[in-house]
Structure 1
Amino acid sequence: MQFIFACLVCVLLSADASCFLLPDTSFPTHYTIKFQPDLDTNFFVGQVNITLNTTITLPKITLHSSLLNISQSLLDGLPATATTTINDFLEVVLDSGDELQPGEHDLFIQFRGTYGEFGLGKVQYTEGNSTGVLIVNEFEPIGARKAFPCFDEPHFKATFHIILVAPNSSYFAVSNMPQINNYTTSDGVVFEFENSPKMSTYLISLAVTNFPCYMNTVHLDDRYLPIRVYSSNASEYNNKRAIRYAQKAMSFYSNYTGISYPLSKLDMIEYAKTRAVATETWGLVQFRRGTINENLLGYDNFQRFLTISHEFSHFWFGDLVTNSWWSHLWLQEGLATYISTKFVNDLSKNEALFKLFDISDLFRLETKPNTIPIVPKIESNAEIEKVFGDIVYAKGAALFYSVENVLGPDAFQRAIRRYLRAFAYSSASSNDLVDEFAKEKPESNITSFLKSYLYQNGLPIVAVEQHTDAYVLTQHDLWHGDRRWTIPISYLQEGNNTGHVWFSDDQQSVSIPRIANSSWIIFNIEGFRGLYAVNYSQVLWENLFQHLHDLPLNEFSHLTENAEALYDHQLIGCDIILNLFDKSLELSKESSHTLFNGIIKVFSNMCEAAEEYKMVKEHIGSKKIFNDLAMDFFIDCSKKDNIDNEKLDQCISWVRTNYGHEHLHHVHTKNESAS
């Protein structure tokens, strides 16, 4: 009765996102999957045994299947009928009509499938004068259901026993786990693999190939770990660097998390992968051709290093602890992006090597009022793909950076370690990690802060006005809506006086005492950076221009990034960008090049003001900072930039006043040369 009621509710409320999710009345505990790929056709056959549990009396088992031809199904050894319905649901009913009682059950399904972009795929390769074929898989996010019937949602974790049948002895098979058996039958050569830990369906990785292998055994923690590379030209010459990167990455993550890499081997395979550059599948990671071969064109060694660093961090953030649903993907991709950045910078001992936080870049992600939040609502299978983008990866990583600034490195690491231990071999939601962070500072606004950034899109603008005894802050929605944030504000006043204050989402304004005789103040400082831009009043901008020589280089750089973010959204005039550019040259600040995007935007805005456009072009060109060809390449006057007319008039007036004399001199000199 409970199941029937749930189905009725789903029909009546068909717009409810939960209606395309599997019911939680049954769940898998173990799969035994056998694949027999045919290398000569476009089809494969297979069978799956699923051990599952039901929590209530059920008339049917509902799981996922897509584009598979079901030839036989048995439920507890009895004949059953499997029918595909909406949302890739596969409903299995006993032919006898009996209901299933609560407890453990066994489901057997035999099937036939077609190779494709998702599911199992057949890939051609060429090496020298020879060609060949290999079988691989692409399951993330919902491709496993195209390869075998399964509970294809990330929170349905189970153990997996994989069996692969290669066509003949010239081929072999690999998967996440070590091989435990190998024998020949009339169907081909059978490869069986050790049971996996509990994991999600999309983390299965497999390959049937005749690639050569290069192997090295590395020291990791208190053991030795075999690492193998499979590719059409695997060798020490081509792949030794990839194995060295792998060892360093896993050693860092093991030390940082306090959890050693959970598996007993690691394989990497490289081929002409067409979708993501690499997979995050522990035990067997699949890479696009060139990303682990240091002697192939297409990627440089730093890109290879970044790819390995990111994907291997997923062994902890994604594989060990998995997002409970794709809405919470930032727990994997945002955290993996951030932690792998920590590793890269730790190894290089140079944070400038791979800079994560650029406020102008973050604001460029918010190009429209309807961008998704970091934790978006997903209301259909088709909407899952939209989550795999820069909002989750880059903005999500920047939010982790801000959290660590608020908590401090030690507290941040403690929270991460507790989170991993609490949800190891299970799944977690965003609130689970938020709760762990909040435990480190229960008296702070950390929960309100995180939820205000996670569950709504956009970013806040903090406006600052100078009063006699205080600086008064107000916050505004970038897109002029009514959204509010809880913001960790940081500032530096003249005399190296720093401070921090919370700007809660229920506060109309915040006042910061002004130190006597202080001429300037700057916000969002190093070591406490947050996800907001600061719109200084004109008086404060003028004060900063007069004291830029007092700012550390990193704060000057951030000020330019902040200005670019404001200018992109027409919150300041071009005079601020051009002033910063000129001042940076006067003071020999090394960050003038960071204004490139802002300068290009100024040109784009002035395309219709031909004379003033020339004035700016001559002035910028005379400084020899930016290559003229590069600027011309990025400036596109064929696209009308929707700049506010008032701001354009102000810009034209400022340019005439400040660059007009240079232009007249330039024209005069040119005329003299001509005569």
Structure 2
Amino acid sequence: MFLTGYWLQVVLSWAVVAFATATVVVAVQKAQLAKDLRDVQDKIDIFEEWNGESRYRTKREDTIDYRLPTALVPTHYELYWHPDLETGSFTGQLRIRIQVVEETNQIILHSYLLNLTSVYVLNREVETFELEEERQFLIITMTEVLPVDATITLGIIFNGQMKDKLVGLYSSTYQNEAGATRTISTTKFEPTYARQAFPCFDEPALKATFAITVVHPSGAYHAVSNMQQTESNYLGDYTEAIFETSVSMSTYLVCIIVSDFASKSTTVKANGIGEDFSMQAYATSHQVDKIDFALEFGAAVTEYYIQYYKVPYPLTKLDMAAIPDFASGAMEHWGLVTYRETALLYDDSYSSTANKQSIAGTLAHEIVHQWFGNLVTMKWWNDIWLNEGFARFMQYKGVNAVHSDWGMIEQFQIVALQPVLVYDAKLSSHPIVQKVETPDEITAIFDTISYEKGGSVIRMLETLVGADKFEEAVTNYLVKYQFNNTETDDFLTEVDALVDDLDVKKLMLTWTEQMGYPVLNVSKVAAGFQITQQRFLSNPVSYEEAPEDSAYGYKWSVPITYTAEDGSEGSLIYDYNEDTVGIAFNADVQWVKLNVHQTGYYRVNYEESLWTLLIQELTSNPDRFDIADRAHLLNDAFALADASQLSYKVPLEMTAYLGQERDFVPWYVAADKLVSLHRSLMFSEGYVSYLSYARTLITGVYEEVGWTVDANNHLKNRLRVSILSAACALGVPDCLEQAAQRFNAFLQNPTSRPAPDLREIVYYYGTKQSTSQSNWEQLFQLFVDEDDASEKLKLMYGLSGVQNSQLLFKFLALAGNESIVRSQDYFTCVQYIAANPVGEPVVWEFYREQWPQLSARFSLNDRNLGRLIAQITANFRSSIKLEEVQQFFEKYPESGAGANSRLVAVETIKYNIEWLARNRADISDWLSGTASPLTKKNQL
């Protein structure tokens, strides 16, 4: 290390300090002048006359180059941090060893929200340094030109704040068992927040090694980082923790934690691929027993990935930590993965079956990243899907490898694939690979397209080339590019090299470089079946508005799989240049079902006679189609009807088979649609008939699953929660009565709670039916007093179910108090309240009035704040509401990371308006008895 001893952290040579002090004045003057000029230009740019009307617009960013110059490459950081837990500030210093690859007289790197007290370059003279706020640059001008191949050492002393933030280097607090407030410090740097903790070259391709030293209070506190601690220097009240030098990695993967957490550990067996290594999990001392499941599962899934990748884990340890305040679900720092408490801690007294599955999925996702993202990293954020899409796809493989009875392969459909198909059918979607430059654009691209569509397209690719060749390609890719950076083409090249007679790269470009996806239209012909394709858009009006801005004309090269009436299966490629393709069959084969197991990223529509045959087969012999195919038929039929590409009588007729359905995945699809239709039809003339039909449809399975949780039946428990939730939402009398009885019994004896699987249902629908304000206030106090993060979210959900707008407003106002609702949970709380029809107008009014305060508290760079508008307005379905939203956008034109969410909000409201106008009569006619199998049997 370049400094040892705590007292030395603010000491440099007098010459360096004197020179730095002199240049600070110059830097401040230059920075202020630059800011004044930018402010004037902003006022000019933000206002323009258009068609004779005053219109606000956001300032164009595309004229500014946000990328660092290419003249310098960092190779090594010596980094020294002292987070002061008492004051909430931190001090630090660093030296960066830099290689000069292009002649230059400037050193330009990132620094944001830091105070720089000294900037120097060893053995060279600094002329000036200044901070440019717009690009978050630190610009250091030298008195001489730095020659090519020179190696220089840049030194900086800096300080910053840790309070009231969840990114960069920040502080978090919790209450221990004795009720005392304890403070910790931790980091969250992805994607562009490392620069808030130390000046650095904060771009993913600029990898370097890191030698980190952290000062922490002596005694109960300790420090952990990416690498093993090698040395400890006791300095009285403080101790220096010195860590071994890291492997080469990106700045966003650096992590430190200063805490008094307790821990447990286990060993991960490498089984011949590298060396065994330790896995340690950290949590607050009173919750340390809740990490047992994470350790057991984490070790098992890591061992699976080692065997799958056939590439050794490159570090000597892999730690996990549950952080009380954490902005994301988790973060894959190399060797030290950080999690929200709800994403790591499991206790069967509090955690539901869904909680357990979610924890396993999150752990699996982050551990995938140790190779796919950390070992091999995308060159730039355009290709973030190489990190997140692959991790999303592989997490299901990992959980399935450890818990094969959880049905995770089928669950990919309902959790990842089907939701993103809804998003990607809008004009406000974007391609998987999309150019991003600004910090706002970069953080916003961490969205469902990068994760869920990325994972779905990789899943389709694996099906196309075969699991064995895909796995081999992954290994080759990781070995070839380990410790380096890649682009999408690099990964596809490795797949392409193993596949004969197929241009994988050409095919995949139609999926990665244009947004959206196709619907394949299938018709019966004499020689078999004919298939055509067109872009699928959820709103018919969108076809008139859609720009023709794709090099592929919004056509895709589609890997088609199919199964036919005679039991045969097959596959073919529908090239984007072809107008139509066919599947040859004998005349006696009457139907074909495309997209086997819904592994393809597309929808399938059939001519009416084929839909009729498929429904007949499904109704008479449901097992003819496996779980995934039954869920797929339901999902596609409703989506096509919603888009007016299919009569609504088709999916409604299909629901008749549900009387025979007892598997979780198909019922999850059906239950979700039954509840959403309930909300959509609420104010239409067919609402009463619809409710009667839906309740009749679900009653049989409701009575069968009951209210008793099965200790060792994961999928039955998931089915039970899905059915009970839908039954209560649809107002099945017995369901509401059971929820109310359990809720009242719970309030009378709060120490005896319902089973964890049932708590959200009991809390929400018990609260919904209660007219007692004291009951709500009692539940609220239980929420405030609760320590378990998982249980706290369940109680929060329950509180949002009350049908009293004044209480919902009170809850919304109280949620702004950090001591009641942590900042990490604030947006979840707002979404819960907005999802309640009574709470929706309350939240909308509050959001508009409090926007200046919300944007000041969370910043426009917060993607969760940015997405909130689309979540709040998701059920708006009137022109008045659309106008209110558009007026709000005109009043507050700056959107930061929420720019795309605003487009989603407007498009969704327009779709909702169109949907009711298009489908109300069709649904009402069917419900009146013209087609319904149940009405024909007088069951309504």
Q: Same fold (TM over 0.5)?
A: yes
Describe how 1:513-662 pairs up with structure 2 within 5 A.
513-526=584-597, 529-548=599-618, 549=620, 551-554=624-627, 555-585=629-659, 591=666, 594-604=669-679, 606-607=681-682, 609-610=684-685, 612-623=686-697, 624=699, 625=701, 628-632=727-731, 639=877, 641=912, 642-643=914-915, 645=917, 647-656=919-928, 657-659=930-932, 662=935
SS of residue in 1 equivalent to 2:604: strand
Tell me the TM-score normalised to structure 2 length.
0.65
Structure 1 residue 199 corresponds to structure 2 residue 249: yes
Contact 1:577–1:595 (8 Å) recurs in 2: no
Distance 1:18 1:402, change over 3 A: farther
**Residue identity matched to 1:112:** N
Distance 1:193 1:661, change over 3 A: closer
Distance 1:175 1:605, change over 3 A: closer
The equivalent of 2:375 in structure 1 is 320
Describe how 1:314-463 pairs up with structure 2 within 5 A.
314-350=369-405, 352-353=407-408, 355-358=411-414, 360-366=418-424, 368-463=426-521
SS of residue in 2 equivalent to 1:547: helix
Contact 1:604–1:635 (8 Å) recurs in 2: no
Describe how 1:140-159 pairs up with structure 2 within 5 A.
140-159=190-209
Contact 1:600–1:635 (8 Å) recurs in 2: no
Q: CA deviation at 1:537?
A: 1.0
Identify the range of structure 1 (192-201 vs 487-496) with the bigger mean alpha-carbon deviation.
487-496
How big is each residue's C-alpha offset from its partner over 1:520-574, in whole Å with a ceiling of 9 and x where there is no partner? 1111113x72100011111211222333345323323321122122233232222
Corresponding residue to 1:282 among 327, 334, 337: 334
Contact 1:34–1:47 (8 Å) recurs in 2: yes
Q: CA deviation at 1:192?
A: 1.0
How big is each residue's C-alpha offset from its partner over 1:374-421, in whole Å with a ceiling of 9 and x where there is no partner? 222213221111111222111111111111100111000011001101
SS of residue in 2 equivalent to 1:620: helix
How big is each residue's C-alpha offset from its partner over 1:454-498, in whole Å with a ceiling of 9 and x where there is no partner? 121112111112222232211111233441111111122221122
RMSD across aligned C-alpha pairs, in angstroms?
2.9
Contact 1:225–1:264 (8 Å) recurs in 2: yes
Structure 1 residue 107 corresponds to structure 2 residue 159: no
How big is each residue's C-alpha offset from its partner over 1:30-88, in whole Å with a ceiling of 9 and x where there is no partner? 11001122222232111111111111210111111101111112223334232112311
How big is each residue's C-alpha offset from its partner over 1:409-464, in whole Å with a ceiling of 9 and x where there is no partner? 10000110011011101111111111111112242142232111112111211111
Distance 1:647 1:125, change over 3 A: closer
The equivalent of 2:139 in structure 1 is 91
The equivalent of 1:5 in structure 2 is none
Contact 2:364–2:399 (8 Å) recurs in 1: yes
Contact 2:330–2:339 (8 Å) recurs in 1: yes
SS of residue in 2 equivalent to 1:491: strand
Distance 1:327 1:588, change over 3 A: closer
Contact 1:63–1:89 (8 Å) recurs in 2: yes
Identify the range of structure 1 (441-450 vs 135-144) with the bigger mean alpha-carbon deviation.
441-450
**Residue identity matched to 2:371:** W
**Residue identity matched to 2:670:** L
Tell me the TM-score normalised to structure 1 length.
0.90
Identify the range of structure 1 (447-456 vs 359-368) with the bigger mean alpha-carbon deviation.
359-368
What is the alpha-carbon distance in structure 2 between the residues aligned to residue 522 and residue 216 of structure 1?
48
Distance 1:351 1:471, change over 3 A: farther
The equivalent of 1:220 in structure 2 is 270
Contact 2:927–2:935 (8 Å) recurs in 1: no
SS of residue in 2 equivalent to 1:269: strand
Q: CA deviation at 1:618?
A: 2.3
Contact 1:214–1:228 (8 Å) recurs in 2: yes
Contact 2:231–2:243 (8 Å) recurs in 1: yes
Distance 1:199 1:234, change over 3 A: farther
Describe how 1:184-333 pairs up with structure 2 within 5 A.
184-185=234-235, 188-222=238-272, 223-233=275-285, 237-295=289-347, 297=350, 300-333=355-388
Contact 2:104–2:146 (8 Å) recurs in 1: yes
Contact 1:155–1:325 (8 Å) recurs in 2: yes
SS of residue in 1 equivalent to 2:526: coil
SS of residue in 2 equivalent to 1:19: coil
* Residues paired across the two proteins, number: 653
Contact 2:521–2:531 (8 Å) recurs in 1: yes
The equivalent of 1:3 in structure 2 is none
**Residue identity matched to 2:923:** C
Contact 1:363–1:565 (8 Å) recurs in 2: no
Q: CA deviation at 1:298?
A: 6.1
Identify the range of structure 1 (533-542 vs 293-302) with the bigger mean alpha-carbon deviation.
293-302
Identify the range of structure 1 (165-174 vs 143-152) with the bigger mean alpha-carbon deviation.
165-174
SS of residue in 2 equivalent to 1:33: strand
What is the alpha-carbon distance in structure 2 between the residues aligned to residue 575 and residue 514 of structure 1?
29
Distance 1:268 1:563, change over 3 A: same
Q: CA deviation at 1:291?
A: 3.6
Distance 1:238 1:649, change over 3 A: closer
Higher fraction of strand: 1
In structure 1, list runs of 5 or more residues that go unmatched: 1-13, 668-675
Distance 1:171 1:237, change over 3 A: closer
The equivalent of 1:128 in structure 2 is 177
How big is each residue's C-alpha offset from its partner over 1:643-672, in whole Å with a ceiling of 9 and x where there is no partner? 2745443333333313499499679xxxxx
Corresponding residue to 1:42 among 88, 107, 116: 88
Q: Give % identity.
A: 26
Q: CA deviation at 1:587?
A: 8.3
What is the alpha-carbon distance in structure 1 between the residues aligned to residue 652 and residue 678 of structure 2?
11
What is the alpha-carbon distance in structure 2 between the residues aligned to residue 183 and residue 607 of structure 1?
67
Distance 1:351 1:408, change over 3 A: farther
Contact 2:379–2:486 (8 Å) recurs in 1: yes
In structure 2, list runs of 5 or more residues that go unmatched: 1-59, 538-542, 547-552, 702-722, 732-764, 766-834, 838-874, 879-911
The equivalent of 1:511 in structure 2 is 582
**Residue identity matched to 1:111:** F
The equivalent of 1:471 in structure 2 is 529
What is the alpha-carbon distance in structure 2 between the residues aligned to residue 661 and residue 108 of structure 1?
77
Distance 1:389 1:167, change over 3 A: same
What is the alpha-carbon distance in structure 1 between the residues aligned to residue 290 and residue 937 of structure 2?
60
What is the alpha-carbon distance in structure 1 between the residues aligned to residue 346 and residue 145 of structure 2?
60
